[in-house]
Amino acid sequence: MNVDRIISLLRQAKHISEETVYTLCLRAQELLMNESNVTRVDTPVTICGDIHGQLHDLLTLFDKSGGLEKSRYIFLGDFVDRGFYSLESFLLLLCYKLRYPDRITLIRGNHETRQITKVYGFYDEVMRKYGNSNVWRYCCEVFDYLSLGAIVNGQVFCVHGGLSPDIGTIDEIRSIDRKQEVPHEGAMCDLLWSDPDEVDSWSLSPRGAGFLFGKNEVDQFLARNDVELIARAHQLVMEGYKEMFDGGLVTVWSAPNYCYRCGNIAAVLRIDDNLERQYTIFEAVQPQNGVGNPIIPTKKPQMDYFL
């Protein structure tokens, strides 16, 4: 299997054969199963938020932030759903993982599940492109092997959603059996679904899964684990990133003009060797030559969704 050739095809949103996807997913599983629930990553590193199938904006992200030949990356999940190129976006990241295993860390988001992808676009996209659900099934099996978090230089904890009342230490995350569909409740669910908010204590999330947590919970987690920052994604931020709780937590969002209509800008966060933070913001790819938009297919998505 020629990974470089597949990367070239995916960057052009070209069709990949079902057999190739199967082989790619199998090799990715073999690689990912050896990674810890919380992957250790060295600086310098670029932390990226939700992508949501916006392939051309993902390519812009790499262009603006140096690319894998020069930089190390952590992606905080939600590679699929809502955008029109979920498959190409996810497979491209898998190819990069195979090509540069030490330069890219992929963390599971709440959309990397069978149940959510059946509702929010990825399953339908695969059915439209292949006429059957095999490729969707192969990708879902890879989802089960994605890490639940990462720790940068022992100081920056990276997760898709947030904290859990069932988790006090990062070591406790390492003991979770992650190789499964995400449960509807419990620690693994919370890590993928929870959100920071101006609350005094844990409260149930309006999303229907996970919790809302406030400054007290963040401060306790940082102190107990001797880390100085929680970097997470999961929530649309119009400015691309948002720091909260005296800089102890940051939300990074990397899908510009989310759902092709939200009008937001996107950002990535670079952490250097001194743990200094540098944000790079970027806008959505614009239509070419003013004639239509070659990036967005004419097929309208079936529903509006803002979970």
**Total domain count, the chain:** 1
Task: List per-residue pLDDT tens for the chain, 307 residues long.
Answer: 899 999 999 999 999 999 999 999 999 999 999 999 999 999 999 999 999 999 999 999 999 999 998 889 999 999 999 999 999 999 999 999 999 999 999 999 999 999 999 999 999 999 999 999 999 999 999 999 999 999 999 999 999 999 999 999 999 999 999 999 999 999 999 999 999 999 999 999 999 999 999 999 999 999 999 999 999 999 999 999 999 999 999 999 999 999 999 999 999 999 999 999 999 999 998 755 443 445 555 444 444 444 4
Question: Three-state SS for 59?
Answer: helix
The predicted structure's pLDDT at residue 307: 47
Kindly report the pTM of this predicted structure.
0.94
State the distance between the two ends of the chain, measured CA to CA, in whole angstroms.
37
Residue 276 lies in a domain: yes
The predicted structure's pLDDT at residue 249: 98
What sign does the dihedral 264-242-69-55 (CA atoms) show?
negative
In whole angstroms, what is the distance from residue 147 CA to residue 225 CA?
19
Residue 239 lies in a domain: yes
In whole angstroms, what is the distance from residue 133 CA to residue 114 CA?
11
Strand blocks (E) in the chain: 38-41, 45-48, 73-75, 104-106, 149-152, 156-158, 195-196, 203-204, 211-213, 229-232, 241-244, 249-252, 266-271, 277-282
In whole angstroms, what is the distance from residue 288 CA to residue 266 CA?
20
Residue range 25-61, pLDDT digits in tens = 999 999 999 999 999 999 999 999 999 999 999 999 9
Domain that holds residue 126: 3-158+229-282
Residue 244 lies in a domain: yes
Instruction: Say whether 111 is catalytic.
Output: yes
Assign residue 265 the CATH number of its domain: 3.60.21.10
The predicted structure's pLDDT at residue 295: 59
The one catalytic residue among 56, 111, 160, 234: 111
Residue 182 lies in a domain: no
